[in-house]
Amino acid sequence: MLPINTANWKAGDYLTHRFNPELGIGRITTVDGRAIVVEFPRSGTSLRLAASTDALVPVDLSPGRPVRITTSHEETTIAARLPDGRLTLANGRTEPAHALWPLELEGALLERLALGDLDDVDDFVTRMNVLHLLAIREADGLGSFLGGRVRLYPHQLHVAERASATDPVRWLLADEVGLGKTIEASLILNRLVHAGQVRRCMVVAPEPLTVQWLGELWRKYHQVFTLLDSERLGDVAKDFGDGFNPFELHQRTVISIDMLIARPHLTAQAVKAGIDLLVVDEAQRLRRPPGHPGEPAWRAVAPIAALGRHVLLLSATPLEDDAHGFFRLLQLLRPEDFPEGTSFEARLANGMPLPDCTSSTRRSDIGGLPPRVGIPIELLNPKSAKLHGAVEAAVRQAPAPNAVVARDKVDRVRRALASGAALGAVLGPDDPLRLQVQLMDSADARMEWLARHAPLWRAAKEKTLVFVQHRETLEMVRAALSQRAQLATGMFHEELSSVRRDTEVARFREIDGPSLLVSTECGGEGRNFEFCRRLVLFDLPWKPSLVEQRIGRLDRIGRRIPVEVVYFCPPAGIGREVVRLFEELGLFREPLAGLETQLAHIEGALEEIALDPDATLTDARFDALVAEAHTARTRIREAAYQQLHRHPYRAELRPGILARIPMELDELNQEVVVTAAIGLGFTIAHPRGHRVFSIELGSGSAVDGLPGVPAGSGYVGTFDREEAVENEAIDFFSSGHPLVEGIFAHYEESPLGRAVRFEIAIGNDSGEGLVAIYKDGPAFEVVALDDTGQVRLDWAEAVLTRPIRARPIAKASEHDGWKTMVRQLGERLDPARRLHALAAIRVRAVDARPST
């Protein structure tokens, strides 16, 4: 079925809502420009929707479709479509489409079965497998969390299941950095969407992470979100007027916190539209000091959270590091538990457990991650050391009579330590340092080392991520590697467009892509490079949290080998002091794990030294800084407040969680999709020995298309989770993928496999009867009656068991009596329940010969 162009919607068209099938069949009553009004009689709902939304699927009034004539309430089927658009019916009448109402296929099943209008048994088996698959993936168990292109980690499933058991879901994800808070949030989001519990989703993140959220939701979960940036908001205003609510048009959005702050009316529009699920990344940035109405980020988010619907907050700061900030986030989630005036300190002192809305998994809880291996490189080249020392000393000698000049001086010192190119960018054309600066880079011992080792890494097919502070250093490093080592490299920096950044990372990830990527600090914000063998810190920021952010791109859940952290050790100067301090703090050996706030003053201490040409980091100051950090690390490591979190993840939970993962999910998904695709005449290629399939809706397809999948569409992908994780260049045929969902939607509205007759072997029994299939949400039930009207639980169990051993009944062995039986037994079925499928069955003993 081809999607209808928005220009072709007209009053009287029938449709269904892809994301809310429980609404039933709807009819368009009004077309108002780019909006339409749809009435859904089954649910008694009338909705105003954007005509361009992909959520609407037209109902196909093709021959064979059961319909009801609205004037006489007579039920019949469509026989043919006439050239003028009218429909010829099986009862001989001809009616326009608006005079009919499409039946939802269950009402005519008994009549079809009694008349011998039977479907293929293979289609019934496929339909049953679809029901099994939907029950596994949408039920309350772990199956509903397994559709993403991610490896399955017990602690993430534990958190997702706990959070999803609450209604509404209002949860603070405060796991240690690198353990997958984004994945946990996405697991919960994906489940809520597939379960039909949310329509409007809004992800709020720092601007550098917005495109990554878009990509992650699509690549890993097949979720299509819209980035509400200035350009998209401008398009909405241009097409629908300045006052149009963008959250009415785009129901699943990603937006930067900076955009919400800059345009406060967007918060009001989000509240008016009614956001069903709010996700806030880096929620520790939402701050509300005591006695304060809240900083701008807080005020931008709080009204949306106050709607009382689903909210997920992701925070990188543990309770032990910032108790006040942590409790403020809990206030957003559970205002009834933390009314104004609540003493957070008193709660902590009394040891009062936190509400059951937090998770705070630590690395130690999951058995740890591969270690960090610091690799110090001593810079022993005397020429390089002399040039760097002279330039650093000259910059530090410059006077700083006021705060503005002092700020510029500190920046120059940083740049002098970074590279000649970085410092040269801020020097005047006649600055006496310019010649020395140019010589610095040509004799840089770091570049000599990198140019010598990078070709070896390329030959070993190892990926290396190089971090620099400044764009100028990035260009210098790339040019030097090209000239000295004939090495092409990737790049990632702030001035690249979001699309270009994604392209650079994708190329870098490919096996035959660049072996080395040079990135500025923006690559340290939310990007995952765990596939890299090593990290090279070409220069060192003075802020420990930035160093941690860099290393954290590799040191993440899913990594299987140690994290090699290469850093350079200058022979003297501030650069040497920074290395010595960071080594003693353990930055290159273990994560900060919430120490960011405690170490924030280190940058200021180093800046003070930079301003004074004679200052150094004295032993006393050094020891004080280290001792304070060690005390804070010990406090956090001991997790003084960890016991306040209810039902935390523990290592002993792992076996039980893994045992509950339905191992047949991927296999059943493959069986259903491939079998259905073959039955629908799609072109399928599956090279022997490979786990990759090519599936195309070619010219030989039995249908024009699927809901959301137009004719001619083709996909290359896999049903194997590990293959999909390792190779993001191919699709993952799982929950949410257009082809998978299209096949499910096709079976949901198609008459295929709904009325059948077959033979099945069950124990030592024999007889005939009727099997009714009922579907209620994700669950389904099989009810079996024998020819005396008795309920047969054993027969129902046999039909419910996979693989179902159903055999078609040969024409030669049929008799007309079974049709009468169908009508008689049909009267015993519950008329209040909606039939999904119906089967007349013949039961034989397992050891009896099949009928022929």
Q: What's the confidence (pLDDT) of residue 408?
A: 94
Residue 583 clears pLDDT 80, i.e. is over it: yes
Of 380-384, 385-389, 521-525, 776-780, which gets the smallest average pLDDT?
521-525
Q: What's the confidence (pLDDT) of residue 318?
A: 64
Radius of gyration over every alpha carbon of the chain, rounded to an integer in angstroms: 32
Q: Is the four-CA dihedral 262, 265, 271, 275 of positive or negative sign?
A: negative
Q: Rounded CA gap, 581 and 565, in Å?
A: 16
Q: What is the pLDDT of the chain when averaged over all its residues?
A: 87
For residue 611, the surrounding DSSP H or E stretch is helix 601-611
Helix and strand counts by DSSP (H, E) for the chain = 29, 32
Confidence band of 642 (pLDDT split at 50, 70, 90): low
Q: What's the confidence (pLDDT) of residue 826?
A: 84
Q: What's the confidence (pLDDT) of residue 473?
A: 97
Q: What is the mean pLDDT of residues 265-284?
A: 95
Q: What's the confidence (pLDDT) of residue 822?
A: 84
Q: Rounded CA gap, 348 and 337, in Å?
A: 14
Q: Rounded CA gap, 218 and 231, in Å?
A: 21
Of 337-351, 478-492, 572-586, 736-750, which gets the smallest average pLDDT?
337-351
> Are 178 and 591 within 8 A, CB to CB?
yes
Point out which residues pair with 843 in neighbouring strands. Answer: 760, 767
Q: Rounded CA gap, 820 and 814, in Å?
A: 13
Distance between alpha carbon 755 and the CA centroid of its chain, in Å? Answer: 38
End-to-end CA distance of the chain: 38
Give phi and psi for 309, each to the nearest 5.
Answer: -100, -160
Confidence band of 106 (pLDDT split at 50, 70, 90): very low
Per-residue pLDDT of 697-728, as tens digits, reads 988 898 888 888 888 899 999 999 989 988 87
Q: What is the mean pLDDT of residues 268-273?
A: 96
Q: How many CB atoms lie within 10 A of CB 626?
A: 15
User: In 3D, which of 680, 660, 661, 673 has the Cα closest to residue 734?
Assistant: 673
Q: What's the confidence (pLDDT) of residue 389?
A: 93
Confidence band of 357 (pLDDT split at 50, 70, 90): confident
Distance between alpha carbon 326 and the CA centroid of its chain, in Å? Answer: 25
Point out which residues pair with 718 in neighbouring strands. Answer: 692, 732
Residue 1 clears pLDDT 50, i.e. is over it: no
Of 184-193, 573-582, 746-755, which gets the smallest average pLDDT?
746-755
> Domain locations in the chain?
6-114, 153-360, 373-642, 755-844
Q: Which CATH superfamily is domain 153-360 in?
A: Tandem AAA-ATPase domain (3.40.50.10810)
pTM of this structure: 0.72
Q: Rounded CA gap, 759 and 765, in Å?
A: 12
Encode 408-454 in three state secondary structure: HHHHHHHHHHHCHHHHHCCCCCCCCCHHHHHHHHHCCHHHHHHHHHH
Q: What's the confidence (pLDDT) of residue 2?
A: 37
Confidence band of 563 (pLDDT split at 50, 70, 90): very high
Residue 188 clears pLDDT 80, i.e. is over it: yes
Per-residue pLDDT of 615-639, as tens digits, reads 888 888 888 888 877 776 666 555 5
Point out which residues pair with 751 in neighbouring strands. Answer: none
Exposure string over 534-554, b if 16+ CB within 10 A, otherwise e: bbbbbbbbbbbbbbbbbbbbb
Q: What's the confidence (pLDDT) of residue 7?
A: 52
Give the percent of the chain with pLDDT over 70.
93
Q: What's the confidence (pLDDT) of residue 462?
A: 96
Q: What is the mean pLDDT of residues 199-205?
A: 96
Q: What six digits make up the tokens of 202? A: 């809004």
> Are 94 and 88 within 8 A, CB to CB?
yes
Q: What's the confidence (pLDDT) of residue 4?
A: 41
User: In 3D, which of 384, 473, 476, 395 has the Cα closest to residue 432?
Assistant: 395
| CATH 1.10.8.50 for the 6-114 domain, yes or no | no
Selection from 69-73, 170-174, 597-601 with the highest mean pLDDT: 170-174
Encode 75-111 in three state secondary structure: EEEEEEECCCCCEEECCCCEECHHHEEECCCCCCHHH
Residue 747 clears pLDDT 90, i.e. is over it: no
Give phi and psi for 538, each to the nearest 5.
Answer: -60, -35
Pairing mode, if any, of strands 26-32 and 35-40? Answer: antiparallel
Per-residue pLDDT of 159-169, as tens digits, reads 999 999 999 99
Q: What's the confidence (pLDDT) of residue 454?
A: 97
User: In 3D, which of 313, 312, 147 has the Cα closest to residue 219?
Assistant: 147
Q: What is the mean pLDDT of residues 830-852?
A: 83
Confidence band of 105 (pLDDT split at 50, 70, 90): very low
Beta strands in 295-422 (DSSP E): 310-314, 358-359, 372-378
Q: Which CATH superfamily is domain 373-642 in?
A: P-loop containing nucleotide triphosphate hydrolases (3.40.50.300)
Q: Rounded CA gap, 359 and 660, in Å?
A: 21
Q: What's the confidence (pLDDT) of residue 661?
A: 85
In degrees, rounded to 5, the angle at the alpha carbon of residue 525 between the alpha carbons of residues 520 and 527 is: 95
Confidence band of 58 (pLDDT split at 50, 70, 90): confident
Give the percent of the chain with pLDDT over 90.
47
Strand ranges of the sheet holding 714-718, from the earlier edge strand across to the other edge: 683-685, 692-696, 714-718, 731-732
Q: What's the confidence (pLDDT) of residue 524?
A: 62
Q: What's the confidence (pLDDT) of residue 819?
A: 76
Q: How many CB atoms lie within 10 A of CB 408?
A: 13
Q: Rounded CA gap, 199 and 197, in Å?
A: 7
Of 65-74, 204-213, 408-417, which gets the smallest average pLDDT?
65-74
For residue 31, the surrounding DSSP H or E stretch is strand 26-32
Q: What is the mean pLDDT of residues 171-184?
A: 89
Q: Write the single-letter amino acid at 303.
A: P
Residue 108 clears pLDDT 80, i.e. is over it: no
Write the CA distances from 850 to 70, 762, 804, 811, integer angstroms: 46, 12, 15, 13
Q: What's the confidence (pLDDT) of residue 750?
A: 82
Write the CA distances from 380 to 393, 444, 445, integer angstroms: 19, 11, 8
Confidence band of 816 (pLDDT split at 50, 70, 90): low
Q: What is the mean pLDDT of residues 153-157?
A: 94
User: In 3D, which of 270, 300, 275 has the Cα closest to residue 287?
Assistant: 300
Q: What's the confidence (pLDDT) of residue 22?
A: 63
Q: What is the mean pLDDT of residues 505-517?
A: 91
Q: What is the mean pLDDT of residues 122-138?
A: 88
Q: What six digits make up the tokens of 850? A: 């099949």
Residue 21 clears pLDDT 70, i.e. is over it: no
Region label for 625, one of left (φ > 0), alpha (ψ between -120 and 50) or beta (otherwise): alpha
Point out which residues pair with 775 in neighbouring strands. Answer: 780
More confident residue, 771 or 557: 771
Of 46-55, 371-380, 595-604, which gets the smallest average pLDDT?
595-604
Per-residue pLDDT of 654-684, as tens digits, reads 999 988 888 788 888 999 999 999 999 999 9
Q: What is the mean pLDDT of residues 730-735?
A: 90
